[in-house]
Structure 1
Amino acid sequence: MLIVCLLGSLLFSLYSNTTFQHFSLSQWVTIYSMIAAVLILEHFTFQLPPEGNRQSMDSSIYLAALFVFGVGQSMFILLVSCLISLVYNRSILWWKHTLNFSIYTFMIAGASLTFKLFGGITGQFDIDNLAAYSLALAVYFTINVLFVGIYYYLMYKGTLYEFVKNILQDTIFAYMGTLLLSIVLVLLINGSRSFGLFLFLAIGMLLSHAFRQLFRMYYEMSEKANLDQRTGLYSHSFFEEKLDEFIRQSNESGPPISLVMLDVDDFKKYNDEFGHPQGDRLLGFIGKMIKEACEPKGFFAARYGGEEFSIIMPGFAIGEAKSFMDALRKKTNDTPFDGVDVFPHGCVSFSAGIVEIRQESFDKSQWIDWADRALYMAKSKGKNTVVLFGDEVHLPRSLEQDINELEQQIRIFLSKDVYTYKHSKRVFSYAVDMADILGLNEEDRRLLVLGALVHDVGKLEIPRDILNKKTRLSQEEWEIVKKHVLWGKEFMLVSEKFKDLVPLVELHHERYDGKGYPHGLKGTAIPRLARLLCVIDSFDAMTTERPYQKTKSYREAIEELRACRGTQFDPLLADHFIGYIETKLVHIDSARLAASEAAASTDEA
């Protein structure tokens, strides 16, 4: 850009040294009228392919001035009009005005040199010099197209040849129409000066309006071909095309890109219950929610197929992407929609998987597959959740069979109380991490991990209407709920293999100060792993999301743990768990900050 501006300034100084002393008053009036015409036509710019390429008919004015008065006067008109535009159009950055001025200087200088080389003479239009006029227009057009092609090549990468070819295919008639009008303007100026210029300006404004309408329809048709009509998002095929482009940009320039695959939970159940027309309305509702959230961020959102959607997040690291998707998921949960009672969560929900695309030469199908795997994991965790690719829980093989066996028991919650199922899975994940942090031996690790998975299994005995009650429980109902620890104990005693899990299932609601249930045990009378499970269970209960209800943030829940250490919770175990959660938050905040800085640097560029 700097080189173009410097060379443009040099060309301007070489070609703008023509004397103005011999100009008559009528000629000066015509020149200043042409400056006014340039400013008016700049107001009537119209969009040309590729996207972001705008064109006005001001080139006709510059070329006509070149043919009638000479290159110096054409440069003078360019300089004055650019200075006026710089003053009143401050929404455009100054360097863009400078770059625009330099490019026009190249085009005018190239056209002037060609015009003179082939015998062109300024003044009256001479049909015998038609070749000089034609070649000057061709050079002006070629320089223009090359600069536009180079700009889009540098901005969006790809092949310069492809950009230039597309410009020639889609916009050549608009360009050539603008340039040929310069010859018409020469004839009008020589014939009737100011009136001829006025007549040209009227024609130019009408043509600019016609081009606006023509290319508006062009873009509407292109957009319609790339849109999914049911959801208002982009189509699957256009998503595949854009993903290639984004991956190429990431490989070349380095900013992270997060890819999200999301799926509407239990959509088939809703469709079967209310029919396909209402199912289509639900898809439109989800599409609107996604579009409203993604457009301000510059994300690319598409309907991938059926009830599955995809989002490309340029400049967003995986931590920031998860925060965004969790916020969108919660907003979707909290937005009313007809018939949500049929859903297990009692609201519209989706599951999502996220993968971060980095500077690695993988095919796009690899990234889509990884995001899909994370989505599958989100589904297996009880749905209505967001999972990052690579966030798997790694356990010794000796535990896998026991985990699979116990998981079959808690799966019953999916039909009775999906929140208890998801809560059990999250507590299980926390327990896996805490076993590593505390350096537990294999036996204690097994007890903590398996006990965390089934600690609420006794809730299967609680009546469904109490378990899913949205209002405050009565004292009688609360007493029933408290019995779940004893019912859970009975479940565990049935199996000889898992009866050693009884202390965790029965005692995870005992408090460190002796005010818990069912036995009111105090301090170290409560087994250590049950005390730890109490901390984990309470933290997740505080941060569990439910539709239309406020949820404690991680930081708010940490403050609650600190406030209750020594009363409800074992202080030492609470401190270990707080440290673990704070470490997770640091990683999330670091990823969020890195993504924000990357987005900011992209905006500045």
Structure 2
Amino acid sequence: MNKIISNRQKKVFEIVSIVKLICLLFCGIIVFNYFFRDKNIIIMTNNDYLNVIPLGVGTLVIALIYIIWMFFSTEKLKFKNSRLLQITEDLIFILIFSILIVVSEAHESQYKLLFLFIVITSTIQSGIKQGMVVSTISSMTVLGIDLIYGDNTNVNQHFENDLILCSIFILTAWLLGYYVKIEKEYTENLTNLANIDGLTEVYNHRFFHDALKKILEKADKEKSPVSLIFTDIDYFKHYNDLYGHQKGDEVLRTIGFILKSSVRAGDIVARYGGEEFAIILPNTSEKDCLYVAERIRTEVERWEFEGEENQPNGQVTISLGVATFPDKASNEIELVKSSDDALYRAKFFNKNRVETYYSVLEELKKDIEAEHIDLITSIKTLISVINIKDRYTYGHVERVVMFAKLLGNKLGLTEEEMKTLKYGAYLHDIGKINISKDVLNKKMRLTDDEWEMLKQHPANGVDLIKPVESLKQIIPLILHHHERYDGRGYPSGLKGNDISYLTRILTVVDSFDAMTSNRPYSNRKTYEDAIEELRRCSGTQFDSKIAEAFIEVVQENKDKFDNLTLFSEK
């Protein structure tokens, strides 16, 4: 829509340029008549040639004015003070017309109608206000010339006649200006229809991306922060299924109202899609953004929605994810992705909460060689692709990292061992990038070929991180996290202590999360069932000491684990 408006403005300026060119050509005629009036030239004398010189100079001046005007007519939209430029142009034309009218018989001049051109072009360009100002100045100029050069002894006939002309100036400015005003309002209404979400009356998805791009460009130049909040209504599908989409739409409208009421005038609230909203906060640090996000979360939680008592958590609530440019993202795509990741983190970790963007990879960058930073960024992109293909993998990795940290503390790992375990937990499924989405999300039993394909993901993951020397210590965790303590695992069939200690830890927490999460082909087990499964498989699939230590961790942190694995639907 903005492009259409911009093209329209450009065409208007082209028309105005043509009109003013015509005005300048008329000025050339006036100059010509001034130098050759009362002459009947057949053969030019030397004196006539001398008279032509001023005419030539005048013509060159007019041509120069025209060239300058044509330049500004195509470029002035780029100027911040384009309004001031237009006013200056109008005054210059009024001055030129005034001088030419004075030298062409002043009050008796037949060229006073030239002012009408400038009244029309000024009104078209700038609206009724400037049009009325220009028409008033033009009228005062014409009447002033009549008073100065007219016959003051008798009735000034020229003054009386020019009163009608001046009335035409003012009437033209008013009528044309009113039309321009109506058209502008109509264009603004169309723009709103194009930019505003009809249901929630906040900005729509397309406008969000346009605005974010411009705001980030400005922030990059000014070296100022920009924060982005992604928010999603918890269990909204459950509410829609229970009360119908009309009631769901009322919730969306209310959430939109709360969001708009909770931010500053310069902030952008947009409906990103479905029940997901986005808020752009220019010149806002992560700390301030978290404060705003928490205030919004609290306001929604306190709002009394119809039928909210039947929601899974007894209320209509929202989850929010926060990311900030340039600290957590270097461009528009990264900022959106980081905010979205933070939102899903909030959704997975019990909902009705605010989460800021965090990635183990950001921490990992501090521990690797500078020449491998780009590769780590590429790995981050690959993980994003996996998350899109298989949402289970995203939540699974986040939870396994959390479980691994808790178990590592229980077992008294050193700081270096904790780092290795944490990085290995985060990257252990990266090899799934080569597995098709259909296989990852298949609800039926995998075929032998599909199973063999899936079993290749540990080796594929190792191939991806091999070039990074600093990551060599996590290769065993990625390659062997599906080995079994009894030697019946894959890909190498390692047994007992041949499997590294950290890998045995990762195997326990990885399997526990797989058991207690909803998968495309199976429903989650309860914690009690999963604990029994850990005990039953101790000494066969799992290292019994590690399994028992993790059972203690689960029992000591049951409430926290409930939060981590509660996610089942948006």
Q: If the length of structure 1 is used for normalisation, what is the TM-score?
A: 0.42
- Determine which structure has more spread, i.e. the larger CA radius of gyration: 2
TM-score using structure 2 length: 0.45
